[in-house]
Amino acid sequence: MLKRLRFPHLYFGWWINVAVSFFFTITAGFGGQGASIIFKPLSVDLGLDRAATSVAMGVAALQNGIVFPLAGWLCDRYGSKYLAVAGCCLTGIGLILMYFVQSAWQYYLVWGVLIGGGNTLGFSVSIDKVVANWFVRKRGLAFSIRFAIVAVVGMILLPVISILVTEIGWRTTALIWSAIAFATIPVALYFVKDKRPEYYGLLPDGEEPAKDKLGKLASLSGAEPTVSDKSTEQEFTLSEALKTSTYWMLTLIWILVFAVGGGISVHLIPMFTDFGITPVKAASLVALMTLFSMPSRLLIGVIADRVSKQKIKYLLGCMLVLMAIGVWSLVLNPSIYGRIYLFLIFYGLGYAAFIPLDIIIRSRFYGRKAYGSIQSISMIFSAPVSFFAPIFSGRVYDNSGSYTIALTTFAVMASCAAIITFMLKVPELTPGRKS
């Protein structure tokens, strides 16, 4: 059994972070960035209106509420390696079947269940759990790097997928991505580690173990030793976390933000093409939003590492305010073309910061012990809202020829999420249970 992993001059946790972020973002690209790109051509091909086309994304969100908690529990109990492999396999199979889809129900089943389920099972909480396991003091920096890589890769993928869909069609593009999904399996097998770094004779963040612990760390038999004092944190169980009001406030924020993101993201490129923009240019604009989000992705984790647990809510709250401003800019300035760029800048900055900050806040508030389960339970409650959000946007457009009512609703929801964030309190373990 592997007891120790050492790369010269670089902590192995950084290799894990870079590898999983880069390769899994590419693998999940067609199911993520591709959803908005293929929206119009697929709806024409299958003869669906926008609400009906959005159902597949709603199904993906709904299964997310089922698979996400399961993935969280499985990675807490058994590790993340084979979840990542299963995600690659399900995604690859789903993308092959997309080539043969001829009806709405086939599309909903393949896209919503297989591809959506593969992405949820293999590339979400299971990977976040691995990164959270290998970093404590530098967790914010680790997630900043992770989501910066996700942003850069996604920014490149958007125009690439758009060009491929335009030139060779969405079906053939799906086949190409299926090959990418299966080719990612070796990456999952090597870089996704089921154990904490202590198991391999290392400490979180690449810290050097104290001399009196070297012997113990070098001869581990599977038990994980106590880490250095700098890396200690509160370790809540799932049941303990569920008893705190803060957890339910975080869950409500999660619901609101995911409803906004789900209701807007898949309709962005169709919305931009409705403005007379070509599909490739529309995809480039969405990629530009990713570029605008880079300051958040690169700096938010670094800043979070330097902010106390008591004050980190203000950082998240400010980012959600920016997101709300971005959505409001599309609603309040219908005659100004530049509103698109206001949306891209503010929404990009705010929304991009939410996921890394949510991960950092939950892991700092509740520890690593049950991180996967603690994060995933929130998804059960957000799934129904996330299911209806894209369908709601599509139905509003089908009925009115405009997204204005939907955008106004999402702007209000984003504003509410920001307000709730400023009310968060740091949870505390009961006396005698603190780590």
| Each residue's pLDDT tens digit, 352-377 | 888 888 888 888 888 877 767 777 77
189-192: long-range contacts (C-beta < 8 A, 24 or more apart)?
189/81, 189/85, 190/19, 191/15, 191/16, 191/19, 191/20, 192/16, 192/20, 192/80, 192/81, 192/84, 192/126, 192/127, 192/130
Tokens 């790369």 identify what position? 7
| Each residue's pLDDT tens digit, 34-64 | 888 898 899 999 999 989 998 988 888 888 7
Q: Which two tokens stand for residue 412?
A: 């209000």
CA separation for the pair 364, 371 (Å, rounded): 10
Q: Is the pTM of this model over 0.85?
A: no
What are the pLDDT tens digits along the chain (435 aa)?
344 444 457 888 899 999 999 999 999 888 887 888 898 899 999 999 989 998 988 888 888 777 877 887 888 788 889 999 999 999 999 999 999 999 999 999 999 899 988 888 888 878 888 888 888 888 878 888 888 888 888 888 888 998 999 999 999 999 999 999 999 999 999 999 888 888 888 888 888 765 544 444 444 334 444 444 444 567 888 888 888 999 999 999 999 998 999 899 889 888 888 878 888 888 888 888 888 888 877 788 778 888 888 899 999 999 999 999 999 998 876 666 678 888 989 998 998 888 888 888 888 888 877 767 777 778 788 888 888 999 999 999 999 988 999 999 999 999 999 999 999 998 887 665 544
What is the per-residue pLDDT for 4?
Answer: 47
All domains of the chain in start order, with CATH: 15-199+230-421 (1.20.1250.20)
Phi, psi of 159, deg, nearest 5: -65, -30
